[in-house]
Amino acid sequence: MTENKIPYKIYLEESEMPQAWYNVRADMPVKPAPLLNPATGKPCTAEELGAVFCGELVAQELNDTDRYIPIPQEIRDFYKMYRPSPLVRAYCLEEKLDTPAKIYYKFEGNNTSGSHKLNSAIAQAYYAKNQGLKGVTTETGAGQWGTALAMACGYLGLDCKVYMVKCSYEQKPFRREVMRTYGASVTPSPSMTTEAGRRILAEDPETTGSLGCAISEAVEDATSHEGYRYVLGSVLNQVLLHQSVIGLECKTALDKYGVVPDMIIGCAGGGSNLGGLISPFMGEKLRGERDYEFIAVEPASCPSLTRGVFAYDFCDTGKVCPLAKMYTLGSGFIPSANHAGGLRYHGMSPVLSELYHEGLMEARSVEQTKVFEAAEYFARVEGILPAPESSHAIRVAIDEAIKCKETGEEKTILFGLTGTGYFDLYAYQKFNDGVMDDYIPTDEELQASFAKLPKIG
Amino acid sequence: MTENKIPYKIYLEESEMPQAWYNVRADMPVKPAPLLNPATGKPCTAEELGAVFCGELVAQELNDTDRYIPIPQEIRDFYKMYRPSPLVRAYCLEEKLDTPAKIYYKFEGNNTSGSHKLNSAIAQAYYAKNQGLKGVTTETGAGQWGTALAMACGYLGLDCKVYMVKCSYEQKPFRREVMRTYGASVTPSPSMTTEAGRRILAEDPETTGSLGCAISEAVEDATSHEGYRYVLGSVLNQVLLHQSVIGLECKTALDKYGVVPDMIIGCAGGGSNLGGLISPFMGEKLRGERDYEFIAVEPASCPSLTRGVFAYDFCDTGKVCPLAKMYTLGSGFIPSANHAGGLRYHGMSPVLSELYHEGLMEARSVEQTKVFEAAEYFARVEGILPAPESSHAIRVAIDEAIKCKETGEEKTILFGLTGTGYFDLYAYQKFNDGVMDDYIPTDEELQASFAKLPKIG
């Protein structure tokens, strides 16, 4: 098929949808470092992890040898409710930028959770249900993960308890309401329902909460109630595994039209979207079959890859979770109130951290107002109001397309459009009113945070 | 193809998308009555209408003979950004209801405006641009139409002035913000910028506004500024014409799989969605080729078809617009604060009114809490959070599917899912909190309103 026959949107047939997730760890010559038990300093065993996570998910977390892991039929059926997601050829954007670059984006926002998070939420909820559990607990910041999990649990009839960072709970009442509509219970964190919450409230009754604190509460709730486990929407190996459906669908769609991307761009907070998007392409690179340029884009306010250190650190500020080896700003680092809530995480997926450490992937950080400029431009040209998180990738894709205009290169650019900004209009309002800030942490702040890293590994 | 091969979602190829709108009036033996000039009591001429609307749109408004009207290439290209919309086979809903009915819905919510309104917004903005106008004015209540028009104008670089009913402006700041992000100016109505607004504010400084008042302001703004025209998102013949893309895509998709619906259900406020959805099917019925059952669903709080009268009435409360012959509750009827904002209109499209008057279509009214019960049920089972407006159609589709279970009939039900409820979570919250009301107007109220109808026609 010739390239000018590529439609605006490529939808795969149901029969072309992935039947197995791709596990990039199987192709990594250097595996991501194992999670450590902070008490012993030794790798967590399946048994230890099983107290917090479902059995099947622990197996997936530890599996770094099987290249493909079959997607159960029930999950594939659920995927059919909102997948395949469209791979969009950004003809309008190309024309407006007057660039010779060819731009594609994989749009994951066409489901009620508003993002790619549902891909892993349904998998985690399914395994919990399958294990005979009553319910799951989790935390949510921006609210995309909490909404996705509420949807998955609502569908399966599983109890869902969400600890929502208090300031988000108050600023985003509508996010909370979507979760309630899907039957989830939503508790502002810190709360009086957990030991961790009571301790934090005793120290600082006025605190507006943090993701780290909410994680601690959710983990405590799960481990102290019979029939519950904790689930997490990013960072973990299992999450990147589930999110590989994004990249697998992309690859099938591009292969169908004989298109090979030169660069693949994604926003990166904990790494769930970027990891899922690039996995199958990174696999080809690792196996020496084809080369690609990968770019992780993070907020300048929370620059774990570009300014962090590669070290063992806690996944949560409460220090109840295992230690992970990753690029981190320190688990005590409190990101500024950057509106890309989903990217306000101090660490980065161990898989992506390892790939970045080996120079297989680049990273860039961008400032918030530049991100919103790109978001508004994109919204008007391509008709989709993007999430602030996703707009980090848009910013760099536009920058690269402009470079192509200058050099005359006809590069093929693929980026991940992870979600929509319908629940982020408070941030858009700040941008529209010209009162958005661009806080960047100082070197001193970061050094002070690094000094508190655990002395392990 | 056998029926069990029907996918969860049917997406047409771009090449299968409609190249012309279908004009159902061409097949109607009794045409809808013409718009009347309230000053003369005579049918509005093209010249009179041209002072308010673009020339090409006036031609479309008056054209009741051409069965097909070609869609300009530029509009077809814009449609490709968010269309074809999926025709969904509701397998999950069927299974959950344990019904022998086969349920399909056409989902129009996968675009940033969140509804089908964009189909006509881009057409109206295109013709305005093509005529060399500077901009357009309009009113919006729930905000879907205003958002759609802002998107279309943002894309074409056309000035867009939206008069937003003041109570919505204040209760839905995020709707307002989306419009601003797309470059529209949004004015709470009534405002001090128009004669109509000043008059209403002088009478009642505390008024929270109404759709009728906002229409009056938008029309005055357009007719008093060089290079501007007024556009409207429903009721008009031209709008139903543009919205026929919904029904045309449905018909092509169903034909592909050899599926023939027994009943077609849509929510009805001004009639834009229902008219667009049923048009091509109604055409077959009018030409005696095939029979279908059509059901219009309206809120019990604003029951123009089920309890209104078929008479000439003003389209706006300010009485600046032409008179239309339609089912109406009286232009002075103020619907209760029903949350399905998009269905709070006193009248009904003249095309649909005529079809209903001739018994070619049924109508039912449903109460709000029953609508939200269906909405929540649907959200959990099918994964889409529906708009309150759309949920009226869901309610009746579910009721009909349950009837099929009782009778054992394997009916094929098609309904229109016009949009998403992301900006209606205040209403969902009321439902979740159990504090939603079910106001229904009394016969006395309606009789008092009918008594004030103009004595024309």
Query: Could you say which of A81, A178, A422 has the minimum Cβ distance to residue B92?
Result: A81
Query: Residue A228 falls within a domain, yes or no?
Result: no
Residue of chain A whose alpha carbon sits nearest to that of B6: A14
- The model's pLDDT over B71-115, given as tens digits with 9 standing for 90+, comes to 999 999 999 999 999 999 999 999 999 999 999 999 999 999 999
Residues of A in contact with B112 (CB under 8 A): 379, 383-385, 420
Query: Residue B55 falls within a domain, yes or no?
Result: no
- The model's pLDDT over B252-308, given as tens digits with 9 standing for 90+, comes to 999 999 999 999 999 999 999 999 999 999 999 999 999 999 999 999 999 999 999
Contact call for B385 and A178, based on CB within 8 A: yes
- How many domains, in total, are found in chain B? 1
Residues of B in contact with A158 (CB under 8 A): none
What is the nearest CA distance from B208 to chain A, expressed in angstroms? 23
Query: Residue A437 falls within a domain, yes or no?
Result: yes
Residues of B in contact with A7 (CB under 8 A): 13-14, 80
Residue of chain A whose alpha carbon sits nearest to that of B386: A112
Chain B residues within 8 angstroms (CB to CB) of chain A: 7-9, 11, 13-14, 80-82, 92, 110-112, 114, 151, 154-155, 173-174, 177-178, 180-183, 376, 379-385, 420, 422-423, 425-426, 428-429, 432
Are A79 and A245 spatial neighbours (Cβ–Cβ below 8 Å)?
yes
Query: Residue A302 falls within a domain, yes or no?
Result: yes
Query: Residue A314 falls within a domain, yes or no?
Result: yes
Query: Residue B110 falls within a domain, yes or no?
Result: yes
For chain B, the three-class secondary structure string (H helix, E strand, C coil) is CCHHHCCCEECCCHHHCCCEEECHHHHCCCCCCCCECCCCCCECCHHHHHCCCCHHHHHHHHCCCCCEEECCHHHHHHHHHHCCCCEEECHHHHHHHCCCCEEEEEECCCCCCCECCHHHHHHHHHHHHHCCCCEEEEEECCCHHHHHHHHHHHHHCCEEEEEEEHHHHHHCHHHHHHHHHCCCEEEEECCCCCHHHHHHHHHCCCCCCCHHHHHHHHHHHHHCCCCEEECCCCCCHHHHHHHHHHHHHHHHHHHHCCCCCCEEEEECCCCHHHHHHHHHHHHHHHCCCCCCEEEEEEECCCCHHHHCEEEEEECCCCCCCCEEEEEECCCCCCCCCCCCHHHCCCECCHHHHHHHHCCCCEEEEECHHHHHHHHHHHHHHHCCCECHHHHHHHHHHHHHHHHHHHHCCCCEEEEEECEECCCCHHHHHHHHCCCCCCCCCCHHHHHHHHCCCCCCC
Contact call for B82 and A183, based on CB within 8 A: no
What ipTM, to 2 d.p.? 0.94
Axis crossing angle, helix A368-382 with helix A388-407, rounded to the nearest 10: 80
Query: Residue B39 falls within a domain, yes or no?
Result: no
Axis crossing angle, helix B350-357 with helix B272-286, rounded to the nearest 10: 50
CA distances from A108 to A93, A118, B267, B288, B426 (A): 18, 9, 28, 44, 26
Contact call for A422 and B154, based on CB within 8 A: no
Best residue in B177, B422, B423 for a mutation probing chain A (most A CBs within 10 Å): B177
Q: pTM of whole model > 0.90?
A: yes
Q: The domain spanning residue B305 has which CATH number?
A: 3.40.50.1100
Chain A residues within 8 angstroms (CB to CB) of chain B: 7-9, 11, 13-14, 80-82, 92, 110-112, 114, 151, 154-155, 173-174, 177-178, 180-183, 376, 379-385, 420, 422-423, 425-426, 428-429, 432
Residues spanned by the domain of A255: 3-17+71-114+238-450
- The model's pLDDT over B22-74, given as tens digits with 9 standing for 90+, comes to 999 999 999 999 999 988 999 999 999 999 999 999 999 999 999 999 999 99
Query: Residue B268 falls within a domain, yes or no?
Result: yes
Contact call for B379 and A182, based on CB within 8 A: yes
Residue of chain A whose alpha carbon sits nearest to that of B150: A380
Per-residue pLDDT of chain A (457 residues; tens, 9 = 90+): 344 589 999 999 999 999 999 999 999 999 999 999 988 999 999 999 999 999 999 999 999 999 999 999 999 999 999 999 999 999 999 999 999 999 999 999 999 999 999 999 999 999 999 999 999 999 998 899 999 999 999 999 999 999 999 988 988 889 999 999 999 999 999 999 999 999 989 988 988 888 888 999 999 999 999 999 999 999 999 999 999 999 999 999 999 999 999 999 999 999 999 999 999 999 999 999 999 999 999 999 999 999 999 999 998 877 888 999 999 999 888 777 666 667 888 999 999 999 999 999 999 999 999 999 999 999 999 999 999 999 999 999 999 999 999 999 999 999 999 999 999 998 999 999 999 988 899 999 999 999 999 987 5
